[in-house]
């Protein structure tokens, strides 16, 4: 394996919601500048897993985590580690587009601002660059100061991607980013994901196997809290090693 090259790597990761054992002995290595997809039936723990990578599970009340998540040779669950700084380097795009009720400009500038950038010219530049990277600039450049709530669902989701790009993360986590979007908007996001991997590492949770096959380089199949199989995407879809994986991708359950 190429362990030393991994951006994020878990060791014996277990997660409990109260009594419920939601993630069981997860061992996974995420490769830099690649798109990694996590697939599996509803409730299998794929969203829970990526929310471990930026410690969003900290916000859930009786959630307990054992084991390690290593990000660039640092254990992110180390007591000294500041989750705020971690989240600056590992961005996240959510299932439903969640722009703030501010203008388009302010949405993108929010991240840089909270990290201390105040110079208007610098902010202008970051906003433009991020919106261009998220392939949204052409559609909104003439109405940057309109409310983001007026954008279409697909535009809102690309705005959320631009917003996370604006803080210049190393990794972008995407939690079913297209589940609330129509096919055309989905196609745009998927194209964007392909472009993003040149600069970023992308981890995407998806419900759609076709989407995983289209956009990802690596795929992990999860089932009831366990990572059943992980490998290069073509290999997972063409010759899975596990019976369960095969059943799932051939549509026998899930």
Partner 1 sequence: MTKTGFFSKQSESASGIISRQKGRITDSIIGAVWFFTAVFAVFTVLFILVFLLRDGLPVFSEIRPADFLFGEVWNPGGAEPSYGILPLITGTLLVTIGAMVIATPLGIGSAIFISELAGPRLKAFVKPAFEMLAGIPSVVYGFFGLIVLTNQLRIRLDVPSGESWLAGSILLGIMALPTIISVSEDAISAVPREFREGSLALGATRWQTISQVLVPSALSGITAALILGMGRAIGETMAVMMVTGNAAVIPEPIYNVLSPVRTLTGTLGIEMGEVATGSTHYHALFGLAVALLVITLIINLSAMAVIQRLKGEKRSSFRISERYRDYIIKGLYGVVFLLLFLATDIITALAVLLLAAAAIYIRRHLSPGVLQKGAFGLIWASAGMVLLSLAVILYDIIIHGYPALTPEFLTSSPSGLGREGGIFPAIIGTLYLVAGSILFALPIGMGAAIYLREYTRENTATRIIRTGVDLLGGTPSIVFGLFGFAFLVLYLNLGVSMLAGQITLGLMILPIIIRTTEESLKNVPDSMREGSLALGATRWQTVRNVVLPPALPGIITGAILSIGRAAGETAPILFTAVVFSRRFLPDSVFEPVTALPYHLFILSTNVPGSETNQYGTALVLLILVASIYLAAVILRSHFQKKAAW
Q: Using CB under 8 A as the criterion, which residues of the chain lie in contact with partner 1 when the complex forms?
A: 54, 56, 59, 61, 82, 84-89, 91-92, 94, 96, 98-103, 105-106, 110-111, 113-116, 118, 145-147, 149-150, 160, 163-164, 167
Closer of 175 and 229 to partner 1 (Cβ): 175
Closer of 111 and 240 to partner 1 (Cβ): 111
Asked if 215 contacts 178 with a C-beta cutoff of 8 angstroms, the reply is no
Secondary structure letter of residue 31 according to DSSP: P
Task: Give residue 48's Cα distance to chain centre.
Answer: 11
| Minimum CB–partner distance for residue 170 and partner 1 (Å) | 12
What is the C-alpha to C-alpha distance for residues 224 and 41, in angstroms, rounded to an integer?
8
| Minimum CB–partner distance for residue 169 and partner 1 (Å) | 8
Closer of 117 and 224 to partner 1 (Cβ): 117
| Minimum CB–partner distance for residue 237 and partner 1 (Å) | 30
In terms of phi and psi (left: phi > 0; alpha: psi -120 to 50; beta: otherwise), the region of 108 is: alpha
Secondary structure letter of residue 142 according to DSSP: G
| Minimum CB–partner distance for residue 82 and partner 1 (Å) | 8
Closer of 118 and 252 to partner 1 (Cβ): 118
Closer of 161 and 192 to partner 1 (Cβ): 161
Asked if 160 contacts 98 with a C-beta cutoff of 8 angstroms, the reply is yes
- What number of other Cβ atoms are within 10 A of residue 41's Cβ? 14
């Amino acid at each position: 394996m190429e362990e030393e090259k991994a951006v994020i790597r878990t060791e014996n990761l277990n997660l409990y919601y109260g009594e419920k054992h939601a993630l069981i002995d997860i061992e996974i290595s995420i490769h830099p500048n690649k798109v990694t997809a996590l697939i599996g039936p509803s409730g299998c723990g794929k969203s829970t897993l990526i929310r471990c990578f930026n410690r969003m599970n900290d916000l859930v009340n009786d959630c307990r985590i054992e084991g390690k998540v290593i990000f660039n040779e640092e254990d992110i669950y180390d007591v000294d580690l500041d989750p705020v700084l971690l989240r600056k380097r590992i961005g996240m795009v959510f299932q439903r587009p969640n722009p703030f009720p501010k203008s388009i400009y302010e949405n993108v500038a929010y991240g840089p601002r909270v990290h201390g950038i105040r110079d208007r010219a610098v902010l202008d530049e970051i906003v433009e660059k991020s919106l261009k990277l998220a392939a949204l600039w052409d559609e909104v450049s003439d109405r940057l100061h309109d409310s983001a709530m007026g954008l279409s669902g697909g535009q809102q989701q690309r705005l959320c991607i631009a917003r996370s790009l604006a803080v210049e993360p190393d990794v972008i986590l995407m939690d079913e980013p297209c589940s609330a979007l129509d096919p055309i908007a989905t196609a745009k996001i998927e194209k964007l994901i392909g472009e993003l991997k040149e600069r970023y590492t992308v981890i995407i949770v998806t419900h759609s196997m076709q989407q995983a096959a289209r956009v990802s380089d690596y795929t992990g199949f999860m089932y009831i809290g366990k990572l059943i199989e992980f490998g290069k995407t073509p290999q997972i879809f063409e010759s899975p090693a596990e019976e369960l994986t095969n059943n799932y991708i051939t549509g026998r359950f899930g």
